[in-house]
Amino acid sequence: MARSSKKFTDPTDLAILEVHRRFVEVMETVRLESISPDMKERYLSVMTNLTEKLAMPAKPLSEILGEIMAEAGPIIFQAMQR
């Protein structure tokens, strides 16, 4: 995984980086093994789409969030029905 060479000093930026680090740690050590293969495929699709959209610096975050909500909403609803 590529790491940024940027040095963040803003407390909110640092908190975001820490939450991202913790998210990866939890997925690797706790959650990933317990997810069904079908759910892993859905999760991978949502996360791939989100990452691709975030990589477009000109695209506003509000637009990205709207698109992801539209794409992930049916998946979340379906998972809640189980």
Average pLDDT over residues 29-57: 94
Burial 24-40 (b: 16+ CB within 10 A, else e): eeeeeeeeeeeeeeeee
> What is the rounded (10 degree) CA torsion for 53, 54, 55, 57?
100
Q: What is the number of alpha carbons within 13 Å of residue 39 lying toward its C-beta? A: 12
Give me the residue label for tokens 């991202």.
20
Residue 76 banded pLDDT, cuts 50, 70, 90: confident
* pLDDT tens-digit readout, 9-32: 999 999 999 999 999 999 999 999
* pLDDT tens-digit readout, 64-75: 999 999 999 998
d(C-alpha 56, C-alpha 11), whole Å: 24
